[in-house]
Chain A
């Protein structure tokens, strides 16, 4: 048993927050998603007020926070399920009552007179230190229509008021899953519309696991690189390659709570460096070293840009937070250092273990024709694209050039359900763009013919 304990402690992503860690804040059950770094000075804006995130430090992921009003103003306070679980009661009661529920909406008139409590009344309650839940109860008590509503619309009403007067902040671990979902919801274009099920498929199709050397072409902001690094757990390498002289930004990697061990395993190498002949390698790398200043400048400026994005838009870090985030990142080891000469030599000798391409703006075949040959024989690969046609052409060419077998184009489809007593059905809205994935296995191309066999 003690042995088990030790083993489970070794998990890379701790379950309790610490100062400086990256978190995903889910406000009101996914209404708003905010990436933040927990520092003494970082804040979160709810309504028109900034709340310090300091109370979140040292709490287990999965904790829920609400605003509490005290003598010295309001602050985020942790709440426990016994308190927040109350609102589930209606649902449980609903099960037996649904069938003979006779109320409906015939008596409801939209004349804005149903609520007798004014916003001044509510402000006054607040000043007197009323909790959000108490305000909600007061709103219900003063609503002339609440009793006429069906049980479910009463529940809906309560939920709507809760979101406004007693917002909940859920502390979540930044994982490939939550990061991908948050970006897909807020800024899908920044991750090339890569949906979480498409990302998971690629990781599986490419057989990503610890101790592999994974080649990626990540033009989705670092999401793919981060997701691969998460699966490697600090063993093996993820090499992010690029065409030309400018590495692709991988700022999303910094949202994952990776330790230095994992950061060290995230490297970059230009396609030219990976493709060069053995003899040319060292010479070229020397040249490249002179250019490295520029490279890192490019990377840094993109860091700033992303921080700006984050501040400007709603994955909304308060400018203060993002400043401290950036300065902190500069001290910590940077993910995406240039791959060492030895590593590149090794990859040239052994080939990469697998390949994933997520380059939504590039032609799949022009990348695949250069990247697939860098794979070991029998190594799997997966190529994502928002459009079908580039993958169809790529598949056709890979087949024609006899570079790969087991080729398949798949389109992921994902539907979420609302599951409630007597009210189960698919969700009314779904994402209709999962993109397309071309998967396959590299084969040994120095073919022998049957005649040359003996």
Chain B
């Protein structure tokens, strides 16, 4: 997934090979991660797709199934991975992930600690940010989940940049060997305040900690604990609103001020509408409006900086 291997870097010449991980894109909310295997097939509602048909084509190609249906095969990115990974726990999404990476001031070479690993959605983005010279040490007390995460990191090819440990961070704290070495720490734990004293030990001075909690009571308690050792304590909520875009036919026989639009036409009809518009009185306008339903809450992000004492 990461371009540490120059051969795997995206380019016009880079073609899909046997063994590559690809993201099969049906539509924006229907995607699947597939390991390309010469003799394998993919079956979905559009038909049967032979992997062998994909090999040798550039990433980003449109490929066809036996019934004439098509999908796109894309190169994996942490963003796409977040949309296709198997949910073993509640996961973080792009709005929170991107903000966390920025606010934790993570750059190549950083050493980052994380607990819990969960489904590895954030971890993959943490790894991308520290690559190729840094490292992410991520911990989960659930042995099976840690094993699945390790497997996933193998699949996405980032194993060399991330180490998954099995450990109860709330109970035991982070391992002493990272004491004073962490540039940034991320906590997604039910009782983060239990892990905060240990996090304070692990961080470099002026290093940043982030705690993600769905409930305000957790935030309240974490902030009280943070105050003794940390400064610059700030809590945020980050959300995204998506927009849908439609082409409208405007009936220009009406007054211009009172343009009455016909119902939005589906995108499939748009090319037709374009060719039909020549010479007729109807003109088309592209308009956008927020999508009907959206994620209303994910969690609160609390950031704090370790006080400088030296």
Residue positions of A touching B, CB distance < 8 A: 1, 4-5, 7-8, 10-13, 15, 60-64, 80-81, 88, 91-92, 95, 173, 175-177, 196-197, 199-201, 203-205, 207, 209-212, 230-236, 349-351, 353, 376-380, 388-389, 391-393, 395-396, 399-400, 405-417, 419-421, 424, 426, 436, 441-444, 447-448, 450, 453
Contact residues on B (Cβ < 8 Å of other chain), bracket: 35 or more
Decide: A350 and B13 in contact? CB cutoff 8 A: yes
Interface centre among A230, A376, A420 (most CB of B within 10 A): A376
Residues of A within 8 A of B240 (CB): 201, 410-413
A175-B98 contact in complex given A408-B28, A411-B240, A412-B238, C-beta closer than 8 Å = no
Q: B residues 212-235 with Cβ under 8 Å of A?
A: 216, 219-220, 223-224, 227, 231, 233-235
Residues of B within 8 A of A11 (CB): 107, 109-110, 183
Decide: B305 and A62 in contact? CB cutoff 8 A: yes
Decide: B14 and A376 in contact? CB cutoff 8 A: yes
User: Is the contact region of chain A dominated by helix, strand, or loop, or is it mixed?
Assistant: mixed
Decide: A233 and B243 in contact? CB cutoff 8 A: no
Closest 4 CB pairs of A and B: A233-B108, A377-B60, A62-B206, A378-B60
In Å, the complex CA distance between A232 and B130 comes to: 10
A405-B72 contact in complex given A351-B12, A417-B300, C-beta closer than 8 Å = yes
The answer to whether B205 has its CB under 8 Å from any CB of chain A is yes
Closest to A412 in B: B240
The answer to whether B3 has its CB under 8 Å from any CB of chain A is yes
Closest to A209 in B: B128
In Å, the complex CA distance between A25 and B183 comes to: 21
Residue positions of B touching A, CB distance < 8 A: 2-4, 6, 9-14, 25, 28, 53, 57-62, 64, 68, 70, 72, 74-75, 77-79, 94-95, 97-99, 101-103, 105, 107-111, 125, 128-129, 131-135, 177-178, 181, 183, 204-206, 216, 219-220, 223-224, 227, 231, 233-243, 245, 247, 267, 270-271, 274, 286-288, 290, 300, 302, 305-310
Decide: A416 and B234 in contact? CB cutoff 8 A: yes
Of the candidates A8, A233, A419, the one whose C-beta lies within 8 Å of that of B111 is A8
Of the candidates B108, B204, B223, B306, the one whose C-beta lies within 8 Å of that of A235 is B108
Closest to A9 in B: B109
A388-B227 contact in complex given A10-B109, A12-B109, A441-B60, C-beta closer than 8 Å = no
Decide: A4 and B178 in contact? CB cutoff 8 A: yes
Closest to B74 in A: A378
Decide: B242 and A197 in contact? CB cutoff 8 A: no
In Å, the complex CA distance between A60 and B108 comes to: 21
B55 to chain A, nearest CB (A): 14
Decide: B288 and A444 in contact? CB cutoff 8 A: no
Residues of A within 8 A of B59 (CB): 376-378, 444
B217 to chain A, nearest CB (A): 9
In Å, the complex CA distance between A209 and B98 comes to: 13
In Å, the complex CA distance between A210 and B5 comes to: 11
Cross-chain pairs A/B with CB under 8 angstroms, 28 sampled: A4-B178, A7-B133, A7-B135, A62-B305, A81-B307, A81-B309, A95-B224, A197-B102, A200-B99, A205-B98, A207-B79, A210-B108, A210-B133, A211-B6, A212-B9, A231-B108, A234-B108, A353-B9, A377-B10, A377-B61, A378-B60, A379-B60, A380-B77, A405-B25, A411-B240, A412-B240, A417-B300, A444-B57
A388-B243 contact in complex given A177-B105, A412-B238, A424-B216, C-beta closer than 8 Å = yes
Closest to B22 in A: A378
Decide: A400 and B271 in contact? CB cutoff 8 A: yes
Decide: B205 and A209 in contact? CB cutoff 8 A: no
Closest to A422 in B: B220
B234 to chain A, nearest CB (A): 6
B62 to chain A, nearest CB (A): 6
Decide: A10 and B133 in contact? CB cutoff 8 A: yes
In Å, the complex CA distance between A274 and B183 comes to: 38
A443-B60 contact in complex given A62-B307, A378-B75, C-beta closer than 8 Å = yes
In Å, the complex CA distance between A201 and B59 comes to: 24
Decide: A8 and B220 in contact? CB cutoff 8 A: no
A201-B274 contact in complex given A378-B75, A411-B241, C-beta closer than 8 Å = no
In Å, the complex CA distance between A409 and B98 comes to: 16
- 5 additional A-B pairs beyond A173-B206, A200-B98, A379-B10, beta carbons within 8 Å, are A201-B94, A201-B98, A209-B128, A406-B28, A419-B219
B132 to chain A, nearest CB (A): 6
B85 to chain A, nearest CB (A): 16
Decide: A419 and B302 in contact? CB cutoff 8 A: yes
In Å, the complex CA distance between A405 and B30 comes to: 12
Decide: A233 and B109 in contact? CB cutoff 8 A: yes
Decide: B300 and A414 in contact? CB cutoff 8 A: no
Residues of A within 8 A of B68 (CB): 450
Residues of A within 8 A of B204 (CB): 8, 15
Decide: A414 and B238 in contact? CB cutoff 8 A: yes
Residues of B within 8 A of A414 (CB): 99, 236-239
Residues of A within 8 A of B241 (CB): 410-411, 413
Decide: B107 and A380 in contact? CB cutoff 8 A: no
B115 to chain A, nearest CB (A): 18
In Å, the complex CA distance between A231 and B98 comes to: 12
B221 to chain A, nearest CB (A): 10
Residues of B within 8 A of A442 (CB): 60
B258 to chain A, nearest CB (A): 20
Decide: A376 and B12 in contact? CB cutoff 8 A: yes
In Å, the complex CA distance between A13 and B204 comes to: 13
Residues of B within 8 A of A399 (CB): 267, 270
Closest to B236 in A: A416
Residues of A within 8 A of B77 (CB): 207, 380
A15-B307 contact in complex given A378-B60, A436-B243, C-beta closer than 8 Å = no
Residues of B within 8 A of A448 (CB): 62
Residues of A within 8 A of B237 (CB): 414-415, 417, 426
In Å, the complex CA distance between A27 and B308 comes to: 17
B33 to chain A, nearest CB (A): 14
Residues of B within 8 A of A377 (CB): 10, 12, 58-61
B28 to chain A, nearest CB (A): 6
Decide: A209 and B3 in contact? CB cutoff 8 A: yes
Residues of B within 8 A of A447 (CB): 62
Residues of A within 8 A of B224 (CB): 95, 421
Residues of A within 8 A of B206 (CB): 15, 60-62, 173
Decide: A207 and B235 in contact? CB cutoff 8 A: no
Residues of B within 8 A of A177 (CB): 102-103, 105
B78 to chain A, nearest CB (A): 7
Residues of A within 8 A of B2 (CB): 209, 211
Residues of B within 8 A of A380 (CB): 77, 79
Closest to A437 in B: B240
Decide: B58 and A444 in contact? CB cutoff 8 A: yes
In Å, the complex CA distance between A353 and B9 comes to: 8
Closest to A414 in B: B238
Residues of B within 8 A of A424 (CB): 216, 219-220
Residues of B within 8 A of A201 (CB): 94-95, 98-99, 240
